[in-house]
A and B are shown apart, each in its own frame.
Chain A
């Protein structure tokens, strides 16, 4: 790729981001709503912790366990929403035709969506982290450097699910919009967010081992409860992430090709 072509490509990615940044940064209710749900959930689990901690030795040794878990879970949730809601917005706007007739390449659209996902996640989870510190003196950064690994592992898995959901939206239209919100909860029971996956029945444990989030939360428990960071768990999570991300991208690309065959790119909308 020549330098000029690269500059044009970066400009197109910037255009994808700018289109959504205009919306985000102009509307404070939008910004607040992104941090609202993670913050309320965090507060809920913080009070559960306060209630149980005096009689529970487990929570006495790791008082930030539930708060850390819920904040990291929201990294996964926000990461996924950041990709799929960006796409929902394009469908609602009936803007897909304009995008796919422009010189924007599919990989540039995907990179733009992923960049927006990072931003939305930082705003949403960042707000909740701030309130965790202000209200409960809990800092998620007390996990240290492993936090970066946990964050990355969950974010990339969120991207993969978000791309798969976007593919479903292209295939089934806005009738599948609920998937954008609900898809992630299908994997919640086998992600071991609040409990070790050992407690699951054997068939579900087998599934959990294929879920990157389960390895991340297992690693989080190691850090919070035993002060040990197990790099093997991290590599397992990242390896699975890579596979799921490729699957997500391929599904998305196939669904775009399918939409071009069915002629829905120009007509899809509210």
Chain B
């Protein structure tokens, strides 16, 4: 992304951000509510047109040739749902067709086994619990074995056990496929575990970036949670006096 801007009538939701995501790595996009995470992800997905700047995804200009890239990416987001009156299997079959998945029944079977969906494949999506829906959405996001996976709060409704299994699966999938992941999450434990790079957003700008370990050290904190609070509340100066003066903060 280069100089990406999204301006609404009176609000600048994203104010000229630039970043690269390392291929095969997981990068976290962090920030408080309204920081611009979902706006940034939406522009990456091509469902939101930027007011300025450029986006290149997997070597293609997302603004001009996004249909060349779309078969190779996928996403989950709390802002979208799957049709509630279709069963889980029907939903996954429809999306397997949309993504041109080869041998869809086999792929759905694999994902059902991985995400423990076997018992709910015949149930309407609308009758599932929040946690079950999250698992189905993740299965949908992995149907086409994406090269780029955008995850907006992917484990938000899952209990710690299932959440852990999902993270393990995503890590395994990444290791096997070399997939690049961009993760927006408020779960700092998840970020520390899964992400090698972190981009911190506030008011539509990138205010800091680095690996979780680097950020924790730089801010003199013990956890990413504390770093997040410092940055989101804009209390960096107070929390870490002198860091900016020493040129250690952007």
Contacts and interface: CB of A to CB of B under 8 A. Distances in A.
A104 interface: yes
B186 to A, nearest CB: 18
Q: Chain A at the B interface: mostly helix, strand, loop or mixed?
A: helix
Contacts of A267: 79
A98 B95 contact: yes
Given A8-B100, A18-B97, A103-B71, A95 B48 contact: no
A12 B86 contact: no
A102 interface: yes
Contacts of A171: none
Q: Chain B at the A interface: mostly helix, strand, loop or mixed?
A: mixed
A103 B97 CA distance: 10
A113 to B, nearest CB: 15
B84 interface: yes
Interface in A102-136: 102-105
Nearest to A101: B45
Residue among A19, A94, A105 with most chain B CB within 10 A: A19
Nearest to A99: B98
A137 interface: no
B119 interface: no
B82 A93 contact: yes
Size band of the interface chain A makes with B: 20 to 34
Interface of B: 6, 8, 38-39, 42, 45-49, 67, 70-71, 73-75, 77, 79-87, 90, 93-95, 97-100, 140
Report, nearest first, the 10 A-B pairs whose CB atoms are least far apart: A15-B97, A97-B80, A94-B81, A102-B98, A93-B83, A263-B48, A103-B70, A265-B47, A266-B79, A8-B100
Given A95-B80, A101-B46, 7 more contacts: A12-B98, A15-B94, A22-B86, A93-B83, A96-B80, A101-B70, A261-B49
Interface of A: 8, 11-12, 14-15, 18-19, 22-23, 89, 93-105, 257, 260-263, 265-267, 269
